[in-house]
């Protein structure tokens, strides 16, 4: 039952008034989806968030957290050499063992399905600290698609004390796997909290956003697509832009060379195509508001774009987010060049199809997920501690 505040880097003050919630953030999408929860914990009268970033893409992660008024308490130094998943696994679990031992939190919280999240869940489990999993229960049923995310979230599902599912379909996945009903609940997706908060502001289009009637917002970064799949998808997008004179492309590149290099090589040099490095979250929301459609393999964009009435074409063979597909806002098109190009052209040439797919839908929540998560955490954590029951 400790409140921990960071006075300086690595210096911690201990008091005994609130519960400590150790919040782990590794990537920018995690920062965006954890931001509303951390902010809600900061506003609570019973808990104190101690925020640790894993040091991956530190500048963009901490920049995204700053948008929610969150300053990390600590940054891990993983000192990776070869970039392999096994190296990351070993580094994170060693660091988390030390952090949990020093901080002695009352719970550990992480979001999503990265390798860091799986490792954090195991570290908490090994040290008998309750792990709270945000965005729990997403499944494709195929361990290799997406890779390694499907395995990561199954590991988190086995170790979590509480599972915060974004939708009823995700909740049903957890129940089928034997998670006790009292340990999981539907909260909505915190990404929608972040989106609606940000989109409520007047946002100018990002720098270099094409001034054309129809602009595709596109991203591609999935590990399972590296190599031929991502190259084929990019060629399909370029072919569609070539086919339609009023069509432009704003491609936001991922820092991983396996995603960045083919994007520059295949999409570069076209007068109606802009390839840009990663942009901040407000600019991404502005791009979403300004674009015509979204073409992506990103899970987050599959959730966000439908809420803004933007049709989504998914550059994957399957998706663990079927709700927006069923709602008619998302189509899974794969990475075949012709399939990608034809799907874009179909939306160009069929106004009725575009109209159906561009009706705003909210299958992933109403923007109140963080409040539900923090309320559920309080009910679970405080009920066992009589001294805090009146908090």
Query: Among all residues, which ones are annotated catalytic?
Result: 113, 135, 149, 221, 223, 254
CB 297, CB 223: distance < 8 Å: no
For 96, residues 6+ apart whose C-beta sits below 8 A from its C-beta are 24, 119, 120, 123, 124
Instruction: State the maximum Cα–Cα separation within the chain, in Å, rounded to a whole number.
Output: 68
Residue 227 C-alpha from the chain's centroid: 23
For 379, residues 6+ apart whose C-beta sits below 8 A from its C-beta are none
CB 121, CB 110: distance < 8 Å: yes
For 286, residues 6+ apart whose C-beta sits below 8 A from its C-beta are 203, 204, 205, 206
The residue whose two tokens read 């290099």 is 261
From residue 98, alpha-carbon distances to 120, 213, 282 in Å are 12, 54, 34
CB 138, CB 160: distance < 8 Å: no
Q: Which residues pair with 108 in a beta bridge?
A: 22, 131
Of residues 73, 324, 300, the one with CA closest to residue 195: 300
Phi, psi dihedral angles at 324 (to 5 degrees) = -75, -25
């Amino acid at each position: 039952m400790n409140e921990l505040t960071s006075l300086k880097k690595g210096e911690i003050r201990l008091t005994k008034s609130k519960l400590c919630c150790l919040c782990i953030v590794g990537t920018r999408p995690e920062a965006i989806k954890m931001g509303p929860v951390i902010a809600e914990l900061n506003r609570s009268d019973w808990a104190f968030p101690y925020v640790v970033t894993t040091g991956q893409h530190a500048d963009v992660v901490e920049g995204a957290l700053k948008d929610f008024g969150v300053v990390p308490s600590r940054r891990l130094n993983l000192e990776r050499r070869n970039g392999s998943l096994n190296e990351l696994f070993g580094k994170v679990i060693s660091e988390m063992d030390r952090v949990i031992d020093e901080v002695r939190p009352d719970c550990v919280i992480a979001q999503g399905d990265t390798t860091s999240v799986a490792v954090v869940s195991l570290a908490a489990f090994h040290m008998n600290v309750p792990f709270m999993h945000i965005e729990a229960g997403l499944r494709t049923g195929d361990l290799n698609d997406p890779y390694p995310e499907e395995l990561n979230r199954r590991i988190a599902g086995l170790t979590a004390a509480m599972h915060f599912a974004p939708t009823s379909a995700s909740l049903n996945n957890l129940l089928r796997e034997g998670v006790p009903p009292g340990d999981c609940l539907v909260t909505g997706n915190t990404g929608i909290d972040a989106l609606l908060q940000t989109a409520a502001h007047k946002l100018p289009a990002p720098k270099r956003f094409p001034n054309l009637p129809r602009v595709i917002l596109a991203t591609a970064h999935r590990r399972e697509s590296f190599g031929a799949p991502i190259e084929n998808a990019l060629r399909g997008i370029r072919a569609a832009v070539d086919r339609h004179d009023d069509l432009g492309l704003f491609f936001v590149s991922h820092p991983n060379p396996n995603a960045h290099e083919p994007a520059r090589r295949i999409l570069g040099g076209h007068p109606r195509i802009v390839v840009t490095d990663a942009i901040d979250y407000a600019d991404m929301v502005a791009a979403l508001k300004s674009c015509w459609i979204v073409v992506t393999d990103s899970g987050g964009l599959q959730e966000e774009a439908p809420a803004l009435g933007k049709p989504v074409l998914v550059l994957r063979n399957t998706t663990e987010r079927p709700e927006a597909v069923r709602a008619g806002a998302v189509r899974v098109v794969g990475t075949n060049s012709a399939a990608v190009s034809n799907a874009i052209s179909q939306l160009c040439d069929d106004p009725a199809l575009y109209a159906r797919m561009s009706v705003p839908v909210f299958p992933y929540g109403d923007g109140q997920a963080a409040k539900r998560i923090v309320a559920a955490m309080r009910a679970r954590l405080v009920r066992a501690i009589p001294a805090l029951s009146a908090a």
